[in-house]
Structure 1
Amino acid sequence: MSFLRGSENYVWCTTSVLGKGATGAVFQGVNKNNGEPVAVKTFNQLSHMRPHDVQMREFEVLKKVKHENIVKLLAIEEEQEGRGKVIVMELCTGGSLFNILDDPENTYGLQEQEFLLVLEHLTAGMKHLRDNNLVHRDLKPGNIMKYINEDGTTTYKLTDFGAARELQEEEQFMSLYGTEEYLHPDMYERAVLRKPVGKSFGATVDLWSIGVTLYHVATGQLPFRPYGGRKNKETMFYITTKKASGVISGTQTTENGPIEWSRELPAHCQLSVGLRKLVTPLLAGLLEMDPHRIWSFDRFFSEVQIATSTTPVHIFHVNKASSLKVSV
């Protein structure tokens, strides 16, 4: 049983798995010519059963995007023994944002500087996709990678374009993609609850996923949490569709119990009061069910621009002997 597999210029070991998904897996490999470490995405039987144009889509999308906040495509090669195409990408040694949030020190979300970095980089990568009329359709912490630069600084990059496709802002699509907890409620209704909904979906489904992701990054937990988690599908749908405008989280702590709604970030969140004031309306605008009230991409991009370009001013509150950080 050989664990080594390869293509013309790359070789990888099937025991060093970086990630696994429905249609394939990503392994760590090396360039045969110079020993450079890479990430190699291979595809399984299920992925080969999809229509040919859907299979080709990921390759086409990757060829179109070139941005420092999107994982770089190095090559598309044929695997030996006719196993089909593989995608070779730059290796992000910092792992995924999902793994970072899983770290006990990030139980209550990322520190402020790191959060701002994620916000800035995720938005820049997203803007590049929109400039090319692309939707990602599976945005979540597991698809945001941490790349450590040579000088030790961090760059966050979007990855996994298996569900991505071209879509103008006013265009719609019908197919279902994404990960349950990060899905727009309309898609959740059809994909998870299997209801025959005649709705089609627009590019704004990415905005909802960004909202859930940013809440997760800021607090270390998901915004909408029914009792029993993922298996309590009807309550999950109820929480996301029945919440009032401006509400950014809904939690059910007992079986069939009441939902605790909140318009604020939880007390344990690591962000300063100043930054919270900027981030809370941002989350409310993204986690908006009403199609007339959800933000447009342009609004999102400009609000993030404001949030990330403020200067923190440190103030010592003498009466309370506390240090305040105000964003100006």
Structure 2
Amino acid sequence: MSFLRGSENYVWCTTSVLGKGATGAVFQGVNKNNGEPVAVKTFNQLSHMRPHDVQMREFEVLKKVKHENIVKLLAIEEEQEGRGKVIVMELCTGGSLFNILDDPENTYGLQEQEFLLVLEHLTAGMKHLRDNNLVHRDLKPGNIMKYINEDGTTTYKLTDFGAARELQEEEQFVSLYGTEEYLHPDMYERAVLRKPVGKSFGATVDLWSIGVTLFHVATGQLPFRPYGGRRNKETMFYITTKKASGVISGTQTTENGPIEWSRDLPAHCQLSMGLRKLVTPLLAGLLEVDPHRIWSFERFFTEVQIATSTIPIHIFHMNKATSIKVSYIFIQLKYYLLIYRSF
């Protein structure tokens, strides 16, 4: 049995699996003409059973987007032996953010500079999607790839647009996509609990998924964790829908036990106090079930711009003999307040 498959200009080995999903798999391959390594997404029988317009949607979305924080489309070709179309993309050798978080050294989340890089790049990619009236619908660390540039620097890129579609800010959709831990509660109710809820969904479902993803990146754990994980679905829904406004995490540590709510990032989080002051309200704004309270995309983009453009100031606390890192924006604000009070 041959493990090699190919299209006109590319060849890949089915044992070199980069990722698998419900409708297909991604393999590492090469360009036949120049040996350039690539990632090739193929589609399974389940994918081919979907309506033709749904099958074509991912191809159309990828043709429409072009941004440094979105995995680059190299080609769409027909696989040999009539197996259908394949998507050829640039290869991100750093792996997915999910695999990075799975590394023991990131058990408690990413270091501050790396977190800021993810925050900046994820937001830039999302802004490009919204500028093109696109909703991703499956945002999670597994769909954020680490690309290593020639100079050794890192660029994080959004990938997997199998669930993406065009959607204006005020438009709604009813189809269900996504990974349950990152799903907006309204979608979770229908997709996971299978309840016949007569609700439609807007582009803001991506904001909730971003909130869960950023909490995961900052802490190494999910914000909403029922005892027993996925098998305790009703409690998961209870946690996400019954939490008070401003609460960013809810954890159940014993079977049928109480929920431990928190409005703050956990103590083990590796972000400085200055950055926490900026990130915590950002998470609270994204993790709102109430459609009237959840932030708009514009506010999210603005707040991230503030968080990623602040300059850290290192202060040595003499009495406690400890180093404190605060953000320049707070120093600047305090400075202006002192001037104001002097008049």
Partners of 1:101 and 1:44 in 2: CA distance: 28
> Which residues in structure 2 correspond to 1:206-225 (within 5 Å)?
206-225=206-225
Q: Report the CA distance between 1:66 and its aligned residue.
A: 0.1
Partners of 1:283 and 1:133 in 2: CA distance: 23
Q: Can you list the C-alpha shifts for 1:73-131, whole angstroms capped at 9, x where unaligned?
A: 00000000000000000000000000000000000000000000000000000000000
| TM-score calculated relative to the size of structure 2 | 0.95
Classify the secondary structure of the residue corresponding to 2:207. Answer: helix
Q: Report the CA distance between 1:243 and its aligned residue.
A: 0.2
Partners of 1:188 and 1:61 in 2: CA distance: 25
Q: Report the CA distance between 1:60 and its aligned residue.
A: 0.1
Q: Report the CA distance between 1:174 and its aligned residue.
A: 0.2
Partners of 2:200 and 2:231 in 1: CA distance: 25
* Larger of the two Rg values belongs to structure: 2
Q: Report the CA distance between 1:304 and its aligned residue.
A: 0.1
Partners of 1:289 and 1:262 in 2: CA distance: 16
Partners of 1:136 and 1:227 in 2: CA distance: 29
Partners of 1:231 and 1:53 in 2: CA distance: 34
Q: How big is the alpha-carbon RMSD for the aligned residues of Structure 1 and Structure 2? A: 0.2
Q: Can you list the C-alpha shifts for 1:234-272, whole angstroms capped at 9, x where unaligned?
A: 000000000000000000000000000000000000000
Specify every segment of 5 or more residues in structure 1 that has no aligned partner in the other structure, as ranges. none
Give the equivalent residue in structure 1 for 2:11: 11
Classify the secondary structure of the residue corresponding to 1:54. Answer: helix
Give the equivalent residue in structure 1 for 2:141: 141
Partners of 2:177 and 2:303 in 1: CA distance: 27
Partners of 1:291 and 1:47 in 2: CA distance: 32
Partners of 1:199 and 1:20 in 2: CA distance: 30
Q: Can you list the C-alpha shifts for 1:39-93, whole angstroms capped at 9, x where unaligned?
A: 0000000000000000000000000000000000000000000000000000000
Q: Can you list the C-alpha shifts for 1:201-222, whole angstroms capped at 9, x where unaligned?
A: 0000000000000000000000
Partners of 1:231 and 1:202 in 2: CA distance: 27
Partners of 1:246 and 1:230 in 2: CA distance: 24
Partners of 2:239 and 2:185 in 1: CA distance: 10
Partners of 2:189 and 2:318 in 1: CA distance: 52
Specify every segment of 5 or more residues in structure 2 that has no aligned partner in the other structure, as ranges. 328-343
Q: Report the CA distance between 1:310 and its aligned residue.
A: 0.1
Give the equivalent residue in structure 2 for 1:205: 205
Classify the secondary structure of the residue corresponding to 2:66. Answer: coil
Classify the secondary structure of the residue corresponding to 1:109. Answer: coil
Q: Can you list the C-alpha shifts for 1:148-180, whole angstroms capped at 9, x where unaligned?
A: 000000000000000000000000000000000
Classify the secondary structure of the residue corresponding to 1:268. Answer: coil
Classify the secondary structure of the residue corresponding to 1:207. Answer: helix
Give the number of equivalent residue pairs. Answer: 327
